[in-house]
Amino acid sequence: LVSSESPRRARDELRRRGLTVTSLREVPSRRNTLRRVLGARRRLPQLISDLATLLAVDVPLVQALTTLADQHPGAFGRLLAKLRDQVAEGRPFAAAIESHGVIFDPLTIAMVRVGEATGRLDDVLRRAAEFLQRQARFRDRVASSLMYPAIVSVACVAVSVFLLTFVMPLLVDNLVDLGREIPWPTRLLRRGGELLQGYWLPISLTGIVTLALGYRSYCTVAGRRRFEGWLLRLPLVGVMRQRQELSRASSVLATLLESGIVLEQALELVERTSHNPLLTDALAAVRRRITEGSDLGRAVGAERYFPAVFAHVFSIGQESGQLETLLRRIAEDYDRQVDTLATRLSAVLEPTMILILTVVVGFIMFATLLPILESGNVL
């Protein structure tokens, strides 16, 4: 075994040792593989943007990859070195990044392939970087909106379990020793605490199995389709989810069309890169109708998943020849709508979660203080 940044350098190292290299096989290290992949994906938008900048000033692709590999030490630098060696050996850049499909998504690969074919690789990479950066900002925005409700929910469950399993039994035992009658709120919580203490293992296993089965169902197409259909029926969340998916699809489609990809192929790529089964089914139906000769606006308007405004944009864009511009505008408009809905959802969720936490903890505290007052003959 020889450790090296790339197969090319590994061959050079083996030849320096006096060995004849007949074949070379990469043995990937399993250590921190997931962390390296996630780290590379986070740095991917900046990498593509830097590469587009270097290519725009007429720096050759191999030299640009070498420059970027020198700037990024570690696993990310080794990835860039591998890409550089593959390109230096005569392999197309799209094929090189496709061999690292765990990191590079199909959309980026398809855009790079079109950029190489049209000689506009720098422009295509710039558009791909803008889209990836916009997508990362949107994920961060949604995660920030859901962070507060998640923390409050965890705190509510943790406080409730602590009071039921540790505080409540001590108070109830003291009250029983004094011969006092236990109030009904205290009896209710006592029963809940006994269930948690006596059956915590079956309850935990049931929860884990339920979550595992739910996740397994979600990983299937039918499970995701049911989940997305349920989300669409929720107030605020359904509209926000739909606008989010349509904004992403519009932005991707506009980027692909501006890069020179024909409409049918662009729709197929959007369909392949979408993780929403409802949107995927709608796009597949639109593409099938277009192939059969249907009008673009009518093909989009026939699907219930797309709003009437969305179908109207396609109809006007086809007639005016400015479909890419209109898709950019509706993507930006949907982005603003999602921002507004996310802010409104946070404004609704925060007081709602505080109210729920207050009611739950307040009831537990009332049931806890009631036996104390009974034991002191206050009531």
* Complete DSSP assignment for 105-157: -HHHHHHHHHHHHHT-HHHHHHHHHHHHHHHHHHHHHHHHHHHHHHHHHHHHH
The answer to whether residue 113 scores a pLDDT higher than 50 is yes
Query: Is the distance from CB of 295 to CB of 312 less than 8 angstroms?
Result: no
Query: Is the distance from CB of 10 to CB of 24 less than 8 angstroms?
Result: yes
**Is residue 186 packed enough to be buried (19+ CB in 10 Å), middle (13-18) or exposed (0-12)?**
buried
The answer to whether residue 32 scores a pLDDT higher than 50 is no
Asked which of 11-20, 172-181, 184-193 is least confident by mean pLDDT, the reply is 172-181
Q: How confident is the model at residue 34 (pLDDT cuts 50, 70, 90)?
A: very low
- Note the pLDDT tens digit of each residue in 329-359: 888 888 888 878 877 877 777 788 788 878 8
pLDDT of residue 377: 54
Give Cβ neighbours of residue 75 (< 8 Å, ≥ 6 apart).
Answer: 36, 39, 40
In DSSP notation, 61-88 reads: HHHHHHHHHHHS-SHHHHHHHHHHHHHH
- The chain-wide mean pLDDT, for the chain, equals 78
Q: Would you say the C-alpha torsion 164, 165, 168, 169 has a positive or negative sign?
A: positive
Distance CA(53)–CA(49), nearest Å, equals 6
Q: Which DSSP state fits 183? A: P
Distance CA(115)–CA(113), nearest Å, equals 5
Proportion of the chain above pLDDT 90, given as a percent:
0
Q: How confident is the model at residue 379 (pLDDT cuts 50, 70, 90)?
A: very low
SS3 call for 5? coil
Distance CA(352)–CA(354), nearest Å, equals 5
Query: Is the distance from CB of 136 to CB of 48 less than 8 angstroms?
Result: no
- Taking Cα atoms as reference points, which of 142, 113, 125, 140 lies closest to residue 42? 140
Task: Determine how many CB atoms are found less than 10 A away from the CB of residue 215.
Answer: 10
Query: Is the distance from CB of 286 to CB of 299 less than 8 angstroms?
Result: yes
Amino acid at 378: V
Q: What is the mean pLDDT of residues 35-57?
A: 76
| Claim: this prediction has a pTM higher than 0.75 | no
Longest dimension (CA), the chain: 94
- Note the pLDDT tens digit of each residue in 246-284: 887 887 788 778 777 788 888 888 887 777 888 888 888
Distance CA(159)–CA(191), nearest Å, equals 17
Task: Determine how many CB atoms are found less than 10 A away from the CB of residue 352.
Answer: 12
